[in-house]
Structure formats: C-alpha cells, structure tokens
Amino acid sequence: MVIQASLVQWLKLITFACTLLAVSSRGAASDDRKAHNGASELLLHSYRRSFNGFAAKLTNEEAEKLADMEGVVSVFQSQKKELHTVRSWDFVGFFEHSRRTVLESDIIVAVLDTGIWPESESFDDKEFGPPPKKWKGSCQKSSNFTCNNKIIGARYYRAKGDYPLEDLQSPRDSVGHGSHTASIAAGAVVSKESLYGFRAGTVRGGVPSARIAVYKICWYDGCYDEDILAAFDDAIADGVDIISLSVGGFFASEYFSDSIAIGAFHSMKNGILTSNSAGNDGPYYASVVNISPWSLSVGASTIDKKFQTMVKLGNGKVFKGTSINTFDLKGKFYPLIWGADAPKYSSSESRVCLPGSLNETLVKGKIVLCDYLDFMEGPLQAGAVGAIIRDDGFKDFAYTFMLPASVLGLTDGSDILHYINTTKKAEAAILRSTEEKDELAPYVASFSSRGPSILSLDILKPDITAPGVDILAAWSEATTVTGVINDKRIVPYNIISGTSMSCPHATAVAAYVKSFHPTWSPSAIKSALMTTGTNTIFAVGESYIWLLTNICFATAWPMSPKTNTDLEFAYGSGLINPSSAIDPGLVYDAGEIDYIKFLCGQGYTSKQLRLVTGDNKTGCTKATNGSALDLNYPTFALVVSLSGDDTYFSRDFHRTVTNVGSPVSTYNAIINAPKELDIKVKPNVLSFKSIGEKKSFVVTVAVKVGLPTVSGTLVWDDGVHKVYIVYMGERPNGEFSAERLHINILEQVLGSGGSSFLLHSYHRSFNGFVAKLTNDDAHKLANMEGIVSVFPNQMKQLHTTRSWDFMGFSKNVTRTNLESNIIIGMLDTGIWPESESFNDEGFGPPPKKWIGICQGSSNFTCNNKIIGARYYKADKNFHPTDIQSPRDSEGHGSHTSSIAAGALVHKASLSGLASGLARGGVPSARIAVYKICWADGCSDADILAAFDDAIADGVDVISLSVGGSFAIDYFNDSIAIGAFHSMKNGILTSNSAGNSGPQLASITNVSPWSLSVAASTIDRKFFTEVKLGNGEIYKGTSINTVELKHNLYPLIYGGDAPNTKKGYDSSESRYCSEDSLDKALVKGKIVLCDSVNSGEGPLAAGAVGAIMQYYLDSAFNFPLPVSCLGSDDGTNVSTYLNTTRKPKANILKSIEEKDEQAPYVISFSSRGPNPITYDILKPDLTAPGVDILAAWSQGTTVTGYEGDNRIVPYNILSGTSMSCPHATAAAAYIKSFNPTWSPAAIKSALMTTAVPLSLETNTDVEFAFGSGHLVPSSALDPGLIYDAGEIDYVKFLCGQGYDSETVRLVTGDRSKCSDSINGTAWDLNYPSFALSATPGKSTRRVFHRTVTNVGSGVSIYKATVKAPPGLEIEVQPKLLGFKAIGEMKSFIVKVKAKVDGNNITNMMLSGSLIWDDGLHQVRSPVVAFALEEE
C-alpha cells in the first residue's frame, strides 16, 4: 500500500492499524502478524524529502481504516507498472548543429527507468566538467557501477527487497530499456553506430551536453508504485530539472491514487516538468494512461524510414513483410512447413508455434509458418532456421526476433499456406531486412494510446506526439537484442519502438527549452512544446463515444487527418518541433494555484488539497472552484452532452497568455474550423508592450448537438497581414447595394478614403468583403455591429499544376527585375501565341540585346512575351497537317514553352483534371521560338539552323526537348554541336535525356557541355476505375476526361471480334490494333485488349471505350475512354467476361490521387551510363516530367489522333520533354541573378544543390537521377561552383581522341592537342564523379577539381565523404579556406573501387562528396560501376 499522510502521523497510523489488526485478526494471518516486532516492520519506505507519505504492508481492512484517518489524502494498493516500450532528431528538424546554449551542460535530466549501462559511448563524459553546483544527489554505491561527469547520480529502489534472478542489484541496466531512453534524451554524439548495419550513422540525444541522473525503478518483473514514488521523492530533492518517465499502468487512475500523477504534482510544485509516455494500448479510445494536466503526455509517431523483410517462395513469388531481421541467410531456400503440420502434442498449439509445441524432428532445418506473433522462441527451440508469421495486426512498426522472421498480413500468409498445401516440396527464403522511405510519415503509431482522458474529459490528452517507432539508441550489454533466453546477440545499440521512445524525445526538447529559459515554469515549457507542434490541416473525424460529441481545437495545427483518423486523440497538439519551441511567442502559464482550482472543480475537498499542498490556507471556494474549461491549458477540449432539447451546445473557455516573444507586438486570433463548429474569441487582438506582460481572452465554442467529433484550431499570429476578409453572414433579403454598404463600413473605420481599400464584394450568395487593412483597422472592424468575423486572407493549396510547387519553387519565390531581360530559346514544334500562358500584359518592349526577328506569316504575330519566332524546314516537304509558320500544330512546343516561361494562369485544367494555377518557372522571362519539329520529325539540318540563329539572336538559355534514337559521337550529333557553340557564346543548352528507359545506357543527349535532364514524378497521379456488371471495381492508369452517359455498356474481348473481312484473325484483333476489329461486333461496346495501344483501333471500330491489359507507371491520354490494368486485374476482367452471359462494364472519369512515393524517376526516362564517355555521369539531374499540365495548341486535339475532337487550351503530358523545360527555367532563374555566370557555373549550381532520390524507389540510382532532384531555390546560392570553359572542354576532347585539326575546326582558333592539353574525363572540372571498373577487380582513379567561391566572402569548407563498402574516397586537402568571392581552390579526389557482380544493374556503388561550410552543402555524387571488358 502507498499512503500520503501528514509528516508527523505516519508511524502513529501504522501502529494504530497494526493494533487493530492484532485485535481483530484470527488464524494464520493473526499468527503471522504476531511474529512482527511492532509496526515498524510493516513499513517499507518513507517519502520525506520532497513530499510526505510511506509504503507499508497492510490488509484491505487496515488500508480502509487508514484512508479514513485525519491527515491521509489517499491510500491505494501498490501496482506494477509496465515500460512503454539517429535519425529521429533530424526528422523533426532538430539537427546536431542546431542552436544551443552553454547552460545545456547545467541541465540535469532525471531518467526513472531500468537503470543505465554506464560504459556505453553514449554516456562518455569526455569534455564534461564537474556536476552543476545545484546537484545534491548521490551515486549509490555498488561494486559494479560508478558514475561520471555525464551520469552524475544514480540510485536504485526495491522496497519489496526480493530481486529477480536476472536483475543486477545496482543502478546498472540489465534490461536495456533505461539505457535506450536515457540516450535518446541526453546521449552523447556517437558516430558510425547501428544495429548490425541498420540505422547506421550518428546516434545522439536531443541534449547531448546535459547531465543524466539515474533512478532505477523497473526490474524484470515490472515497476512498482512504491519505488516510483521513492524515486520522485529523491529526484525532486536532488535538484533535477526535468523528469522523464516512460512507464505507466494498464489504465488511468484517479490523480491521487496514481504514483506518477502524485510525483509529477510535487515535481511541478518544485519547478520540474515531468514527461510521461502516453501508453502502448492504442489504437483503442480512452487508453491513454498518464493524463494528469501538470505532466506532459507524449504519443508515438513514425519517422520517414521503415523496415521491410522479404520472403521468397520456391515458385518465385515474393512477399514483403515487417520485421528487423539482422540475420543473413544469403538468399538460400529452406524447406517450408506450417506449424500445424508439425505438432509435438496438438496442432492447435503448434500452429501458433508456442515454446515446446513444435516437433523438433519435423521442424529442424526448416522455415516454419506460424499463426501467432511472439518472439519465436518456439521455432528456435525446435531447430527452425526461420519463421514466417501471419498476423492480422498493424504493420506500422517492426519487431526484432530471435531468428530470421518476417511478419505478413493474413492475405499474404494465407497465400503462403496455400503454396505449402499445393506444393510437393515447398521451400522459402527469408532475406535480411531492408530500410525503405516511409512517404506517409509522420503518423501516429497504432500502438500509441489514444484519448480522451477518462478522468477529465475536457482536458485533451495526449498533449503531443514525438518519434517513437524503430528508434536506434544505446542498449545494455547485460542483455540481448530481444532479452529472451537463447538469443545470443549482445549489442551496444538496439532498435525498439514504443511511447517509451517518444517520451524521452519530448523530455529532451523540454530540457532544451529549459536551457534557454531556466526560469520558465513547467507549464510554460509544456506550452512552448505544444503550441509549436508541426501541423497540417484541421478535419472532421468520427464520433468517439456514442453518448458524446467531442470538440477539440489545439493552438498548433495538427498532423494530417488522412493518416491519423483519430485526430487529436492520437496526436494532441501535433508533432513536436524542437527548434520552434525555444521561441513560442506566447505561453499559457499555470502554477500550483491554477491546478488547485482545477482539482476543486474536479470534486476534491479543501481538506485533501491542504494535505497535498502543505498549505493550510488552501481551500475550495467559489473563487477557487474552477472547471477544466478554465484551466490555463494550451489546448481546448469540450464534451457535448446529447441530452436535452437544445440544438446547439455552447461553452466559454477563459485563458491568459504571457508574452515571451517580441516586447512590442500585436497578435491576431486566427480561427480555422468547419462550418459545424462556431468559435469566437474576445478580444481577437492582443497587444503587448513588454516581455512578461499577460493578456486574457475568452473563447466561446458552439457546436450543433448530434455531430461527430469536430476539430478546429486557434492560432495567435503576430505577423503582418495586409489583406483581410470581413465576413458578415447571410446576404440581406431582396436587392441591396453590397459595394455601397461595404464602403460605408470601411469609411467608419478608415475615413472618407475607405473605398480605395475595398478589393472585392461578396453579395450573390452571402455577405462580406475583402479589404486592405492594418491590424488596428481589423480589430476595430471586428468589434463593429453586424460583423461576424475578420480574418487574414491566407493562401491555400489547390490540387493543381504543382510541379514547381512540388520542387519548393513557389510563385512568390524571390525574383529579380532582370528576369524580364532573360530570353529563352525554345527549339520545338512552335507555339500557340493566343494561349493565356503567353499573354504579354504587363511586359515592356523586348530587351535591347535582342536582335532576332518574328518571321512573317499571315497567321502568326509576336508580342512582348513571344519576342521572336522562326521556323525551319530545309527539305520543304510539309505534311498536310503542318502549319507553315511558327504556329504550333502539334501542341508539344506550346507545352514546353509554358512550363519554362508561361505566365500565371488561374483555373487551368484538362476538363477539370489537375485544376488550378498553371505557370512557368520564370513567368517574366521572354520566349524566342524556333520551330524545328514537324509531323515527320525534327531534322538535324533544321536543328543546327535554329542553333545558328538562336545564338546570334541573343538568347540566354536554349531548351531542346528533342533527341535521337541512340547516342552518337559528339560531332556527328547536331545537338551536341549546337550546344558546344552555345557554350562558347555563354549560353547553356538544356536537353531531355530521352524516353527509352528503363534500359541502361539508353540516354541520348550526353555531351558534357550541355545539361541532360531525366524525368521524375510529382506527388499527383491519375487513376481510371473500371466498374464491372458484378459490382467489382478495378483501378487502372490513364487520363480519361470523358464521362460515359450510361451506367454500364456491353463488354467484349478483342480476340472475339476479328475483322475477318480485312484478313485479321483473333491472334491480331486481341491486341486491338488499327483495322483489326470488326465494327459490327465492337460498336457501342467496351473492348478488352491484350496490350496497350494508341486507342485508334477501338475508336475506329466504334467502341465506346477500351480496357487494356498492361501496367503503366504513368498515365496517358487516349482518344476514347481507356483504363490500363495490371495483369492480375486484367485477368479478373477476362474471367468475368468469359463466365458471364451478358458481361458489362463502365470506364469512369479519371481521378487524382496523391503519390506518396514521389519523387522517383519514371520508367520511360532514359538511363545512364553515358555510352560515349563512360566516366562522365549522365543524366546530370532529374526534374518533374510526369503528368504535367501546361499550355496546348488549339490547332490539334488532346491526342492528335483522328476521331478525337477534344480541342483544349491545356493538356497533360509526360516525358523527359516536360522535365527539360523545368531545368531550363531553373537555369534562366539563376542567370537572372548572376548574368555573368558561365553555362558550366549555372549547370554546377543546379547539380550540386540537387537532392538525391531514394534508393529504394530508384534502383538504377545515379544512372536514373544523376546528381538528384532539381531544387531551383537552393541553386541560387550554391556556395561553390565547378566552373569550366572552352579550353577545359578542348582538353577533354583531346583526351577522348580528337586530333588537333578537328579541335581547331570546332573552336575556330589555334587550339591543338599536346601533352599539356590532353585531359582525361576524370580531370574535366565536372560537378559529378564517375568511375568505370572491371567487375571483381580493384580500380583506382585520381580526379582533379577546382571550385570557385560564390558564397560567403570569408569561408571554410570541410569535405564530408559518404561511401558504401567497396568504395573508398579520399579528398586532399580536406579543408578549403576562402577569403574572397571568386577565389578558386583546387583539390584531388582519390577513388578506389572494387565492384562485384555479373550484371550491371547490381554493379554500382554510390557515394558522395559534400563541401560544407555550415551554410552551404555542395554535393557531388561519386559513383563506381562495373563495365565488362571487351
């Protein structure tokens, strides 16, 4: 029993209780009591250092008597609590070099857990001084444990006295959990750590300079209340700053019957915040266990990496499961058996593979399929080599097992069981786990306990979420990876999941804030964490309890509701944001008196609270009897009763905020709420004149009764908002002059000039207006009669042509006036000048440097946007569809031009698809059109003629989305020739890589003086659903703009409708090629085709649509409704067709969905290596090229095919043709800021700031994406550039075998190849490094490079190298110091590579070199790949 009592009475209470027991007890119990020598023998522990109470052995009757005695707050039975069991810090934006204060070393973090492993590198005290002077604790003596200047104190507690055999009787950790949580919170920075190679990298705590005080309260059999309270008692008195406790009960208890809530209350009284894990009983509602409002309750969310373990079957099928499998079976196949088929006693036990249930003779040396998830001790004992577990639970975190194992879902597990039952010799292989990017992260883990708080429903819990899934941190070497007998793996670092891991993340952030603000109260720190949580959107969720409706709105935006359907009950205020928490602006502060008021409102008596506080003046009165709604909490939660006849339920919340931001500031209340939720804030503007000033406000919440859970947000914003929306509710009945009314309102605030501030009036459906206002003006309007609300005009995202936004290059990015002087030469199919994308409104005359022309034509005129236009057709052979002018008759040239430099066009779409804002990357730039492509293609003669003119005309960048079928010698290639002469004249040429992927060495534009651009996806993709007559729906790919009139149409197989009159049979008509289908059989039907084709065949035959069997990873337009299905779905459709008397189907209009895996290089994008010069890496980078909406020619149709009558101003296309102008625009953008930069300098800026893509979704790695994904905004400030000019390329050409005569002809000067002008490809000053090697042989190369400083005038760059096994990279020198802009420094890179394998697809080693000055990271890929000897 644990009792809270007054200090002078505890011994009397025990004596009294025991005396009563001796009188009343009988039998064995009475005899046992007589054996004790007085009450003192029943006393287990006294709490006296920080609060008052004791633990004692009592009967239930004795406990009841004690509970009724004077001076006792509560008596409750001691319960056993359970443990709630790097990249996580980087994931939340809290980097190793984040801003810190020297006071961090004075912060003491108390970790109440399983102890600590002091020898871990994470707890090394190197460079630590002595403990802070405030420290009053001790290091409890033990033969096997010593403290240091990192671990400054350690104690252990075991009131029961009996220790489990596995435990160490000292603060030393024998479980691992305590070492793990301590290192997450405050572990030192340790490089090159991992769990057998997983999560390899730097391990560190959030506050690595902080000190750790260890309080061991948990043992193999759990964590007992009496020990928890003893630890709190000491920790508070010892002088700690933050208490971290990743422990909790099985359910929430009344506040003063809960040891953790009691300890946290007394911690709060002493200025110490307690950080608690929320619990691991999710996803059930009301499962959160640590819920006291004076502590911080932390949920667990994911980071952007997850583990997958593949299972291969003997039939070739591969299944992806979840686990952390550190074992490597080398891909070997083993016999496969189901546990139920190998019973030792009964199959009902063996099927779940429990220990002792499996027959060793049948299982030994095999992989066993199990129907239950545990540590797999049973299969290991029986001699199995691995286990496959089929389980219907969540797969959002990974377990570690004692042997190779993978956890699959029931469907995949059942497929494996079917394979076992239908195969004579079933076999399988379990591969070593792989790490993959989790594109959905962050989301709250399924195990994380959910709200609401069962004790105080109007206090939102959990408070916040933090990373808690698959976290690598320190581990005890007194245990194993799993802690289970027979697991022999002893490791210094381990990966585990739980709210136990999220709690110390929050602890560390609290300590971080405390180091900057040592005088802040626990609630102020807590408020800072909660109000700065990372966020996305508000949402309406599901009702959580059938008698209640929940409304909760947090002061920070929440996480995405799409991946967190439990909303605030899962994540509270949102994902923790450490770097923002040190400057929250305002805090919701609360102290002991505030919590006393809250407790009075919860029904606690004055007598109880006097004992808790130790203050006889404490009492519950009307003035101190507060509801949960009035506790100054950073979140707002309201429970709505469904009883009564009221339509709306309304409540007021009273809050006070303290200014901790700018001394003089004005905050506006911004409300985001669905229409079902009415939120009003009074006042809605708070003005401050000093730090520490307090302001109070009231939030009134009204909600319609009977609605489900509703979420909204309140944000106090001190930013400057110039455009406001004034909402006045419903429009008046009848006719009224809205503009006159709105001007009158504005003039009451602004005076007679008010009309000039009115931007727009709403009057057709509701009443309101938009105006330019100051903060004070908005405040005055908000208090006027007839005004519902006044709120700033905010930018919201549309589902739009977002390729530029996807790259972080918004329309409001910093620009220069010189952008309007940039001229982009577009060599393509011409342009459609009437498109809104080429409107010249707001443009002045062409730049003075322009000396081009607008080639005369009766149907074409230029303007101040399209400042020049020419067309070329050397053979004079025009197709009937060709327009003999610069006008675009194909659509392609208009599309690429608008991607590069199109104006901003609102509400653009393709028949409603991709609707939103269409714009080019440099919308103020000018366009010069050079039409080189026609219906029959683009001839070399025309390409070179266009280059000849464009260079002379004065363009700045050339864009060419054109290429041959294969790469050819540089000077037999018109594009390489033209690009070389462009480079000579200071013009960069941007080329498409080609559309012949994913074959390796398929890239066609490979000259090192041009920019070669691959195509990658954006975060939008199109699907087209097929609905069958039996109700089944299949999702395919295409862009279908047509909505069919009827619900269902007859369905026919192409092979059943051959056009025999023209000599076709079913072997040809099954593919639905042109003329192969019988019109009489196909007309008015949907036809199923066995391959993807243009759709012209079905259209010509009169089909209303086509279902094509072939999976495509990008969507295409067709001239009729089409959906392309994968083989499985196509087979299902075929089966339905063949087994149904009258099969029917419908093809729906396409839908847009978010592509969570984006960006990745699309399959059609041509790959490297460079087939002309192996050791020049190509492509150079990748940019968006999939499903791009842009301008289109109205001289053609959507597809350009006969029978397609859709004429549109904007179209959606995919190809490297689309990615190329994205890079063109980025180059033009850099040129506008740096007009004197060379083409190589611009190219270098784009490449060294590109972001490498995920290796999991881009298995061709740099051969697919080059240096990475284009990031235009970063390229503006690259720090260093790898510059090159004509002489550098001449040296390169000499090294490639070109002779002096050829080089002189190319350059037009006296250039010649000599010993000094004969460079290898490795010495070309290129921003990437590539080395071709012979398989299995060690290859060495030395690369010479020179960088030019274009960043900070005085700077020092450090070389950081990343290389996988087999690749060694050495940089000399490792530091480059610069004293001025334009200064150059040279260095060498020595690369040694040994690449194994027999296939080039798996014979590549990817590394990188990064020059880092703390502000710029100048990254170059370093790759080595296998090349077979000829």
Task: Decide: 866 and 929 in contact? Cβ < 8 Å.
Answer: yes
Q: Is 177 a catalytic residue?
A: yes
Nearest CA-CA partner of 557 in 673, 680, 678, 726? 673
Out of 177, 763, 1222, 1416, which one is annotated catalytic?
177
Active-site hit among 295, 803, 1217, 1232: 1217
Contact 1260, 1167 (CB under 8 A): yes
Active site residue 1344: no
- Compute the distance between CA of residue 1248 and CA of residue 1420 in angstroms, rounded to an integer: 6
SS3 1287: helix
Q: Taking the mean position of all CA atoms in its chain, how far away is CA 272?
A: 33
CA triple 1007-1012-1015, angle to 5 deg: 155
Q: Is the peptide bond before 1159 cis (omega within 30 degrees of 0)?
A: yes
Burial (CB count within 10 angstroms: exposed 0-12, middle 13-18, buried 19+), residue 692: exposed
> Rounded to a whole number, what is the distance in angstroms from the first to the last CA of the chain?
83
The angle formed by the CA atoms of residues 180, 186 and 189, to the nearest 5 degrees, is 90
Catalytic choice (25, 88, 500, 1166) = 500
Tell me the three state secondary structure of residue 1071.
Answer: coil
Measured torsion, CA atoms of residues 759, 762, 767, 771, in degrees rounded to the nearest 10? -10
Query: And the tokens for 1293?
Result: 């050409």
Residue 562 tokens read as 């799409």
Bridge partners of 1356, per DSSP, are 1377
**Alpha-carbon distances of 728 from 204, 776, 788, rounded to whole Å:** 53, 19, 5
Told to judge if 1046 belongs to the known catalytic residues of this protein, a careful annotator would answer: no
Strand 1144-1147, strand 1049-1053: pairing: antiparallel
Cβ-in-10-Å burial (0-12, 13-18, 19+) of 607 comes to middle
Residue 310 in tokens = 């593949």
Torsion of CA 947, 948, 952, 955, to 10 degrees: -10
Rg (CA), the chain: 36
Are the CB atoms for 1225 and 899 separated by under 8 Å? yes
One of 25, 50, 78, 113 is an active-site residue; which one? Answer: 113
Tokens of residue 624, six digits: 């101190």
The closest alpha carbon to 709, from 543, 869, 958, belongs to 543
Which helix H or strand E contains 1219, and what residues bound it?
A: helix 1216-1233
What distance in Å separates the CA atoms of residue 518 and residue 528, rounded to the nearest whole number? 13
Selecting among 84, 180, 779, 892, the annotated active-site residue is 892
Q: Is 1217 a catalytic residue?
A: yes
Enumerate the H helices of 550-641 as residue ranges.
Answer: 568-571, 578-581, 592-601, 606-613
- Cα dist. 1077→298, 1098, 1109 in Å? 64, 7, 17
Tokens for 592? 């002991």
Does 828 qualify as catalytic in the annotation?
Answer: yes
Burial class of residue 934 in the structure, from the number of CB atoms within 10 Å of its CB (0-12 exposed, 13-18 middle, 19+ buried): buried
Residue carrying the six token digits 């279902």: 1107
* Amino acid residing at 584: P
Amino acid at 636: F
Quick one: which of 138, 207, 209, 223 has its CA closest to 175?
A: 223
Structure tokens at 1429: 């000897």
Q: Which residue type does 1358 have?
A: K
For 309, 313, 351, 406, 422, the CA distances from 319, given in Å and listed in that order, are: 8, 8, 20, 9, 18
Annotated catalytic residue within 238, 281, 828, 1090? 828
**Could you tell me which residues are beta bridge partners of residue 57?**
none
CB-count burial class (<10 Å; 0-12, 13-18, 19+) for 101: middle
Give catalytic residues, as residue numbers. Answer: 113, 177, 500, 828, 892, 1217
